[in-house]
A and B are shown apart, each in its own frame.
Chain A
Amino acid sequence: MKIELLKSRVWMAALWSGILLLLGGGRADASTLLFTNALVHTVANGILTNGAVLVESNVITLVFRGASAGTPPPAIPPGTVWIDVQGRHLYPGLISADSALGLTEIDAVRATQDSTEVGEFTPEVESWIAVNPDSELLPVARANGIGYFEPSPEGDVVAGQSALLALAGWTWEQMIVKKPAALHIFWPDQSLNITPKDRLANPAKWKAFDEQDQDRRNKIRSLEDFFDDARAYIRTEDFGALRAGRASEKIPAWEAMRPYLKGELPVVVHANELRQIQAAALWAATNHLRVVIAGGRDAWRAASLLASHKIPVLYEHIFTLPPGDTDAYDVQFRAPEVLHRAGVCVGFATGRGGFGATMSRNLPYLAAQAVAFGLPEEEAIKGVTLYPARMLGVQSRVGSIEAGKEATLFICDGNILDIRAKVTRFWIAGEEVSLASRHTRLYERYQARPPRAGRGF
């Protein structure tokens, strides 16, 4: 494994294991942790062999390399809990972006669905308040290293806003890392319905191509109008407030648009087809919006456009079937590498819907498939940590093992991209969390079932 040069925030240090050094600094409280003898995947600054990480008050304060003579060891507060990682891997908590975690429990049971709302323009919808902190899906995801998730709303066009939540906490309020984090838009479908009229489930709904063409143009115009109207509202509001010295009546939908129009927060555009992606990229550039493409099935075909506008892609189609009959069998396995080579920042997500939520724990294996088909391994790890953090504007707090970031990290007995590897311990924001879940409980319960003498066939 390659070890990159350590940057300024990471101190080189020598450590004698078992010896505490007190060189100034305050008393360590119970939450002061020192991870030693770890293979630290800093993500931001490469991999440290024999690395160490100091956590104080839920925050990483020091990342350094042990057993390197000649450098003075750093200050370790008294009372620090030492955790010997025994040479195993230490990763930052993974981020499950664009997820239905917390919003869905059982896909086929409608009563347990809270991810999709009705209506075309509902930017004021907030996803995080519907997250069920006791969902059985959350501990299952966490058990494989997922530290954060972004429950995102689904709808017709402008669906609503998401937040970033930690996979630990008693209430959704406590779980929140950032709210709102992003606005979710589902780009109008640009493909024609080519099903012959007599093959439609409802032939009365058949439309001629020209009519469909008009419809799709209208839908995009309607989206653009919505943004123009929002912009106008905000200008009037700001100007009006200044002039009259009073706030006029607030309109929730327009108010919700404010941070996105100002480019403060990202707009996640769900788009899979080439034309959707191209149109969304140009629209973002024209309107000075911070856009992330989610889904991104055909994004590799627009790689240079996306690169030139610095639009990242949250790729959700590594495991769907190639759409065209002239596509290579591995076209989607290779897509992240194609995007990366063109200079596009690629993150991974398990995809929308209930099935994606139950499969959140397999997030690293999406990235692993891209590695098997050419993506550099560091990029794959970033694609499930630092890159989604950047897309959601939380890179200063999460996504890597760096001083100043939330102490969300886990120990893994192998490479997290390797399915055979297991997460053995996990801390979220400095607090160790349980890896038990509905699955381990049932496993243990039935493992302990006394053997039953066969009532033979």
Chain B
Amino acid sequence: MTMLHQPLPKLLFALLAGTCGFLMGTSAGDLAPPGFRPHPAGLHALAGGRVVVRPGQILEAGTVLIRDGLIEAVGTNVDIPAGARVWDMTSNTVYAGFIESYLVLDSTNPPVSTGDSMPIGRGSLTAGGWRFFGAPGDRSDPGRAGPGSALGKINPEARVADNYSPKEKNLSALREQGFTTAVVAPCRGILRGTSALIALTEENPNQAILKPGVFQHIAFEPQDDGSFPSSLMGVIAAVRQTFLDADHYALDRADFEKHSAARRRPEYDPGLTALAAATGKRMPFVVEPGSALMNDRAVRLARELDFNLILISCGQEWRRPDLARVSGAAFIVPVNFPSLPKLPDEADWDQISLDQLRTWDWAPENPALLRELKLEVALTTYGLGEKKEFRKNLRLALDRGLSEEDALAGLTIVPARLCGVEKQLGSIEAGKIANLVIVQGRSYFDPESKVRAVWIDGKIHACPPEPSKPASATKSTASAAPTNATVSLAATNGASNAGLPMKKDKKGDDLREAQRIRVAHSPQEGRGAITNPPALLIRHATIWTGGPAGVLTNAELFVAGGKILAAGSPATPPTNTLILDATGWHITAGIIDCHSHSAILGNVNEMSLPSTAMVRIRDVVNSETPNLHQQLAGGVTAANLLHGSANPIDGQNCVIKLRDGNSPEDLVFSNAPAGIKFALGENPKQSNWGDHVTSRFPQTRMGVQTFIANRFTAARHYLQDWEAYRSTGGLIPRRDLELEAIGEIIQGRRLIHSHSYRQDEILMLLRLMEGFGVRVGTLQHGLEAYKIADEISAHGAGVSTFSDWWAYKFEVYDAIPYNGSLAAQRGVTVSFNSDSSDLARRLYLEAAKAVKYGGTPEAKALNFVTLNPAKQLHIDAFVGSLEPGKDADFAVWSKSPLDSGTVCLQTWIDGRQYFDRALEAGRTARLQAERKDLIAKARKIARLAGGSDDAGNDGGKAFFRSSLEHEFDGRERHCLDQEDQ
């Protein structure tokens, strides 16, 4: 070894450069000052080895000639010049140096975690200064002291190259895996800044940095420090706004250049400057979305904001290969596969969900799956606790279908191309940088073949010899976190564990064989439409039309092309019509839940700011939640997904149809007009957030009005600015997504769904909105609507209420179950909603409570959960009743839907069947059998591996990291009123 292990002080380098000319690349630079070890000659011949020039192109007994850090020649007949130092590569294999595509240093952050369920009532939730937020807070965002975004999590100006300093401990572990260069990525915040491509040497950073600006980095990482954004949907809103700001900032500065004497100077914002330099596809953006569904959001965001996208794989693209396929994006793929936990008791397996087992079993197959989908794959060690796990896990991926060529490409030519350095790196060709990997034996992909050395910039970095066994065992034990020791198998398995799949013994082969076969099924199986007949005729049914025709007995319903063609009148069916004899059954329009939080990824509240009008539920629709199926089984076909009620002005809602199995975007009820959630009373004034939460405006009902009036006035100004721009030109106004949404309310293009309880606050909102020329869409809950039904009716707002909830908080002490009936009798359009993933399953029975309390006639009571919510959401032209021309969304019941003994038998949406009670037993049995098979596999592998396959010594941490899509399985979700205490 001739290299220097300590980077020389910069001053010395400068001195050397001054006295000796160029330090590198000239012979003069090779003369080190006295006292330093002389530089070796820069001419090397690596001869006689197996040379993998590029994936698929192999020279047996080839020679690689290196001069001055570059490859001069490669081939089987290369003349070795005199003066070259010859390295015998016999029985070794030479690869192009590997490129680590995503290296995060100085951070112990796990990969972007998908969960953000922040407990209510923590900390002050005020962020100051963010421009789309109007009210001042009591403290500024803790994230930043200097200039830049008002949000500490928005740091596009950060540049890894500015602060990079090589540390041996980071680099040697990577070199031992064959890596010679790495994209070092910034790791703080959401918009994180620019990465740099560096050579993995401990030399002067000026030399180590190959390319100072490679990618801009984004992570969809909500952090619960109380400042905006604290939710996943808030993250997306913040990204969107910042991109718009960057565009505008560039225009603003240009305008100032022209008119500096005539206008105020723009603010200086280094973040927007940096971002503007990358947008417009000038630099690729690497996005770490953290989950399979958010991949799709990243893809859509890239399209919307016009940037080139590279995705960090979450390892779970198998959940929705359809979304990965259409993304067309390149993926940087970690191989941090979850390992089995060691459970203290056999009975603890009961706690392990099918989804956890599927996640474990699918993980090693995910890289192969991405290649099968024809997507570009670069590999990374990202997410591995120990870099030395890389090759073992890579082997698992190869055993599960990833080809060696693809794996090699993922380490060489693919990342070279993504980084835009394909002319310098990625293969062994003349003119490229002499970065090489020397592997003993014939293949890097045999984990037993040791990486002997890497060459970086024409210099050899030998890897240390294999440590002796006892040393290894000690190290392994020490490296396991002490608290982890009992869980981690690493401690008990010691050194032998590290080489698990490499074992040549029978047990090792059996283990590898067991790992090779996937037992898990696709979560897409058994979902989606069960039947999709071209036409459907239901006969002999009792049909609750919901319209003027009322309830028809022994009637027929004819459906074709997803629409109801006739309800109640005989039709002449075409020959391919599916005929359903519904004797004894009742048919109703599909249930519509006007207040749901069931299919939302991450937190349902962006509870940092008092106005979060820029936040969109549509960005975080969860198509994978079991709630969809459970609610289909209760006849629900559409739901109004609402932001929570933490703020006077909350986020934008999203109306979906429960087309389970489809992608988030395909759940969206495209004909539903836009809407937004508001909230009045105890929640936005933070009454029940904890006694110490007292500093955000508003803290009273007075303040709620003041705040909403303030934002509407600001929105009016905003609209006027745009109006002025359209008529007189000048600098285009900055797009402000908060005020834009509020402006749409004023323009009558966005419906308000306002959480409200007391009559005083309801009346306040009606009058306040009337002052802005706005009609409120619905009063959500509106539990005191009965007290001011005439006022509500005259205003024209709908009331979407609970049938009989009361007394769970002080402001609902006057809630009465007669509310719905009484308000309806006075002319208000009333619906009953769930606000609960459980109650949504039985809204049909909630409707019966309008009959019991206040005597609403049965047909009208059913409309409380069908036609009336449709009217309130302005989708009644499409759904809500069984009338010709409407969507064929309906439910089939064993008895009257208002009879407590009724059971939902079938649920149809758009003329397709999504639920059939007759198939449920089989469906459950299949899932249970799959789980049983997976547990059998897990037990077998644990046995063969001596307890578990936990070589990553993470104690099952990754195993138990629930995916975003299933974070809230089996748990209730509410708007704030009923959070678990």
Contacts and interface: CB of A to CB of B under 8 A. Distances in A.
A321 B483 contact: no
Given A209-B486, A420-B848, A457-B770, A326 B927 contact: yes
Interface in A427-455: 438-439, 442-443, 446-447, 449, 451-455
Contacts of B355: 325
B960 A107 contact: no
B960 A196 contact: yes
A43 interface: no
Contact of B960 (A194, A211, A443, A446): A194
Interface stretch (B93-101, B417-425, B813-821): B813-821
Interface in B757-814: 770, 775, 786-787, 789-791, 793-796, 804-810, 813-814
A420 B978 contact: no
A208 B341 CA distance: 11
Contacts of A198: 110, 113, 957
Contacts of A447: 818, 822
Interface stretch (B238-246, B715-723, B964-972): B964-972
A385 interface: no
B688 A362 contact: no
B15 interface: no
Contacts of B775: 457
B918 interface: no
Interface stretch (B344-352, B546-554, B559-567): B344-352
Contacts of B903: 372-373
B636 to A, nearest CB: 12
B170 interface: no
A321 B688 contact: no
Contacts of A211: 486
Contacts of A371: 900-901
A106 B793 CA distance: 30
A208 B796 contact: no
Nearest to A357: B807
Nearest to A437: B816
B282 interface: no
Given A107-B808, A195-B960, A329-B633, A322 B791 contact: no
A191 B351 contact: yes
Nearest to B485: A208
A442 B924 CA distance: 47
A196 B957 contact: yes
Contacts of A326: 353-354, 924, 927-928, 930-931
A439 B817 contact: yes
Interface in B83-115: 110, 113, 115
B796 A106 contact: no
A107 B977 CA distance: 10
B790 A327 contact: no
A321 B794 contact: no
Contact of A443 (B353, B487, B682, B816): B816
B629 interface: yes
B955 A457 contact: no
A451 B790 contact: yes
B386 interface: no
Contact of B900 (A324, A354, A417, A422): A417
A247 interface: no
Contacts of B977: 108
A319 interface: yes
Contacts of B853: 443
A275 B794 CA distance: 57
A211 B901 CA distance: 47
Given A324-B970, A328-B920, A358-B807, A446 B351 contact: no
Interface in B39-72: none
Interface string A42-73: 00000000000000000000000000000000
B484 interface: yes
A420 B970 contact: no
A368 interface: yes
Contact of A365 (B682, B900, B931): B900
A197 interface: yes
A210 B343 CA distance: 8
A369 B842 contact: yes
A321 to B, nearest CB: 5
Contacts of B787: 446, 449
A321 B898 CA distance: 22
A330 B633 contact: yes
Contacts of A452: 790-791, 794
Contacts of B341: 194, 209
A260 interface: no
Nearest to B927: A326
Interface in B545-595: none
A321 B852 contact: no
A377 B920 CA distance: 24
Interface in B931-981: 931, 955-957, 960-961, 966, 969-972, 977-978
B29 interface: no
B794 A456 contact: yes
B807 A137 contact: yes
B188 interface: no
A197 B845 contact: no
Contacts of A323: 970
Nearest to A197: B957
B814 A442 contact: yes
A109 interface: yes
A233 interface: no
A108 B796 contact: no
Given A108-B809, A321-B630, A443-B818, A420 B790 contact: no
Contacts of A439: 806, 816-818
A420 B845 CA distance: 9
B849 interface: yes
A190 B348 CA distance: 9
B119 interface: yes
A295 B808 CA distance: 21
B404 interface: no
A213 interface: yes
A326 B628 CA distance: 15
Contacts of A453: 790
Interface string A408-423: 0000000001111110
B680 to A, nearest CB: 16
A82 B661 CA distance: 62
Nearest to B967: A199
B807 A105 contact: yes
Contacts of B789: 446
Nearest to B353: A325
B902 A372 contact: yes
A274 interface: yes
Contacts of A199: 113, 115, 961
B837 interface: yes
Nearest to B488: A208
Q: Which of A420, A421, A451 has the most CB of B within 10 A?
A: A420
Contacts of A373: 903
Contacts of A421: 852
A206 interface: yes
A447 B854 CA distance: 10
A136 interface: yes
B197 interface: no
22 contacts: A108-B687, A192-B348, A196-B960, A199-B113, A209-B344, A319-B838, A320-B838, A325-B969, A326-B353, A328-B920, A355-B978, A417-B901, A418-B901, A419-B898, A420-B852, A421-B852, A422-B852, A443-B822, A446-B789, A446-B822, A449-B787, A454-B790
Given A322-B626, A324-B970, 7 more contacts: A197-B957, A325-B354, A372-B902, A439-B817, A453-B790, A454-B790, A457-B775
- Which 7 pairs show the lowest CB-CB distances between chains A and B? A454-B794, A213-B344, A210-B486, A108-B809, A368-B900, A419-B848, A443-B818
Interface of A: 105-109, 136-137, 140, 190-192, 194-199, 201, 206-213, 274-275, 319-330, 354-355, 358-359, 361-362, 365, 368-369, 371-373, 417-422, 438-439, 442-443, 446-447, 449, 451-457
